[in-house]
Amino acid sequence: MEWREQSAVGCDEAYLEAQRWIEAVTKKNFGSSDFRSALENGVLLCDLINKIRPGIIKRVNRLPTPIAGLDNLNVFLRACGKLGLKDAQLFHPGDLQDLSTRVTVKHQETDRRLKNVLITVFWLGRRAQGDTFYDGPYLNFKAFEGLLGTALYKVNFSKCRFINASCTLSPADPCLS
């Protein structure tokens, strides 16, 4: 199966796992069946990273305005950087904008943007498991195999031990470098 086909098939599983993990860590429901709209204001993402590293975000803007959401997304992404995620592992704040009203935007563009968000969740989940301060639920990395491609997945996790489809890592594990 070609990587693009594999990626399309694997995204559904990644979306479900990302939602499950975010809800388990934050103890809050998405409040929407739409992945993008549940995260677009950045509140859940800020709550997520504050559960992984308490106090890393001092203030979450809970106003229901687009500017507040953009502010939250930028604060979340800066906090990801403080945890050690690299720019290439982070989505762009515009990736969570609603593009459905724009006639010229293709469905593939919306999918690409949401995949960027999933990739950030994946890397944040990896970082969380290696963080000595974090003892919450773990992200099932196997669910992201279709999104990332099996070749990349096997290279990155060849030294990881899988127990019940979850990767158990210690801070010194080579998978975290």
Q: What is the pLDDT of residues 118-134, one digit of tens each?
A: 999 999 999 999 998 89
Question: Is pLDDT of 112 > 60?
Answer: yes
User: Considering only CA atoms, which of 143, 142, 144 is closest in space to residue 162?
Assistant: 142
The residue type of 75 is: V
SS3 (DSSP) at 167: strand
Which range has the top average pLDDT, 18-22, 95-99, 103-107? 18-22
pTM of the entire predicted model: 0.79
According to the model, what pLDDT value does residue 98 have? 73
pLDDT tens digits, residue range 55-72? 999 999 999 999 999 999
Which residues, in sequence order, are CB contacts of 118 under 8 Å at separation 6+? 11, 14, 15, 18, 144, 147
Per-residue pLDDT band at 163 (split at 50, 70, 90) = very low
Tokens representing 15?
A: 């979306």
- Residue 173 is given by DSSP the state -
* Domain limits for position 93: 3-176
Three-class secondary structure of residue 137 per DSSP: coil
Could you tell me the pLDDT band of residue 154, with boundaries at 50, 70 and 90?
Answer: very low
Q: How many domains does the structure of the chain reveal?
A: 1
What is the CATH classification number for the domain harbouring 144? 1.10.418.10
For 39, the 3-state DSSP assignment is helix
Q: How confident is the model at residue 151 (pLDDT cuts 50, 70, 90)?
A: very low
The pLDDT, as a whole number, for residue 173 is 43
Residue of 76, 24, 5 whose CA lies nearest to 45? 76
Q: Evaluate if residue 162 carries a pLDDT over 90.
A: no
Residue, of 41 and 146, whose pLDDT is higher: 41
Give the pLDDT score at 72.
98
